[in-house]
Chain A
């Protein structure tokens, strides 16, 4: 099946700093990428959707200036959490969808655990 990777798998940062998380589609071209956040014992909540070469579309309640998303190529999207605070600590999961992989099936990365101290 299609493979999506994320880096880093875990990151600890101090309050006020910025953190960048990378999401890559390894064996297909991802025309659309999605970023989700998951709090303990909760389900995945969609944060934003990005189409390659376009600005991301953010879900209601998600601050676009705080969670910067870049999808500059068909295999890479990045999520930057700016001026992170402890309440941003969460599990961030990316997902990708692309050509020739079952047109609307999404493939998920392994997730990134962010801890803000």
Chain B
């Protein structure tokens, strides 16, 4: 059974700092990996999707890397801003052996960026 672990569970940083969020997964036979952002009481916003054949994806100040063989991904946020404060979720997608691809989520990292 796939397990996804995110470290740290919570992180508080001053504005402007660069930071790294970590995600690890136990089954390397993933189809893709996604990073999401979730604001309190809200749904999920997709930030980056990395296909299993890719090693990284970039969008603005965000960069996500994937090392499939070691079961690890990192999300790098440059020049953090108070508006980046949210919970960041990592999820991996696997084929369930039946007819569907399914996402398994980590518990998330709660990020607080202090002005």
* Residue pair A49, B102 in contact (C-beta under 8 Å): yes
A107 at the interface (CB under 8 A from B): yes
B35 is an interface residue with CB less than 8 A from chain A: no
Interface size bracket, B side: 20 to 34
Q: A6 to B98, alpha carbons, bound, how many Å?
A: 27
Judged by DSSP, the binding face of B is strand
With known contacts A1-B46, A104-B31, A113-B41, A57–B89 Cβ distance under 8 A:
no
Q: How many residues of A contact B (CB 8 A)?
A: 26
Sample (17) of A-B pairs whose CB atoms are under 8 Å apart: A1-B46, A34-B103, A41-B107, A43-B105, A44-B44, A44-B89, A44-B105, A45-B105, A51-B100, A57-B100, A102-B49, A105-B32, A105-B46, A107-B46, A108-B45, A108-B46, A110-B43
In the A-B complex, list the 7 residue pairs whose CB atoms are closest, starting with the nearest.
A110-B43, A108-B44, A43-B105, A111-B43, A43-B107, A44-B105, A104-B101
